Structure 1
């Protein structure tokens, strides 16, 4: 396939459009689009199957991250207000929730564990970075990042589709040549062996000669 418009131009144009998404009063995290966009190509490129895998796992990863934040807000100082004590509690929370995330990856629908970690990391960056329509609100951060991650596979698809790819003549000619060679090879194999009726006629003669 050959692009009518260079893919680099199309992808860069779409990347520029994210400035209008992030530069609003909603203060959405446009960089989260690039996370899903890159993840799509890491899976092999835009396709409905790859998009579904990311759409299933990225929001779930963000959900596990949300759980960590909510639990930490409730019991983060249970061992004391010192930094080490808070870090110790947070480490325990992360251990438990992260283990649950990875065990969830054993389910077929959520087997793409890296996809969950893309959403996992995106949520923390959104929440602690103060992004979202209500900064420092855990739920607002979740809605914001899930929406932006969702657009990643969409932008990946558009970056290919809007390049208007077309088959190249060289590829078609090569394909035609390969088919012709395969047909000639098959015909040669059929012609090289003796015909069935020739083998039947030859067998009695050989047998009579052996009897004499």
Structure 2
């Protein structure tokens, strides 16, 4: 198979286009596209099955991250207002919520636990990085990151599709030298006896 356009060029053009997504008044996190785009290839490449797995798990991970922030905002000073007391509360919240995330991975639909952690990390990056149509708002951050993560599999698909791959014809000499094909897919060289 050959390509009319190289993957390096196509992927780079698509990556450049994300600047127009991040540069809008909504201040969306374009880097969140790259997280799920890379995840698609880590799973073996663009496919409907891989996209579905990420579309299920990444929003779930972002939801668990939102829960951590939400709970911390409401009970973060339960042990006092010192930094160590606040850290202790946050550690306890993370322990409980992260345990729930890990157990959720036992459900088939959410079994791609790394996908949940990609969404988990993307949410924190969006919220604490000040991205989104309402920077600092935990709900706006969730909407923005889920939308951007969802675009990753689309960009992964386009990066392959827009290369316009063309099947190269197999040279006649290769076909002739391969010999007959057996029912199990093996070939023998022309003129060579095959031991059964």
| TM-score using structure 1 length | 0.83
Q: How big is each residue's C-alpha offset from its partner over 1:44-94, in whole Å with a ceiling of 9 and x where there is no partner?
A: 000000000000000000000000000000000111111000000000000
| Residues 130-149 of structure 1: pairs in structure 2 closer than 5 A | 130-149=130-149
Aligned: 1:122 with 2:108: no
Structure 1, unaligned runs of 5 or more: 186-190, 194-212
Aligned: 1:88 with 2:88: yes
Length, aligned pairs only: 189
CA 1:56–1:83 in structure 2 vs 1: closer, same or farther (change >3 Å)? same
Aligned counterparts of 2:89 and 2:172: Cα–Cα separation in 1:
62
Paired residue secondary structure (1:180): coil
Aligned: 1:156 with 2:159: no
Paired residue secondary structure (1:182): coil
| TM-score using structure 2 length | 0.90
RMSD (CA atoms): 2.3
Structure 2, unaligned runs of 5 or more: 189-193
- For residue 176 of structure 1, report the CA deviation from its aligned partner: 8.2
Larger helix share, 1 or 2: 1
Considering only CA atoms, is the larger Rg found in Structure 1 or Structure 2?
1
Paired residue secondary structure (2:130): coil
CA 1:16–1:67 in structure 2 vs 1: closer, same or farther (change >3 Å)? same
Aligned counterparts of 1:57 and 1:125: Cα–Cα separation in 2:
17
Structure 1 stretches of 4+ moved >3 Å:
170-179
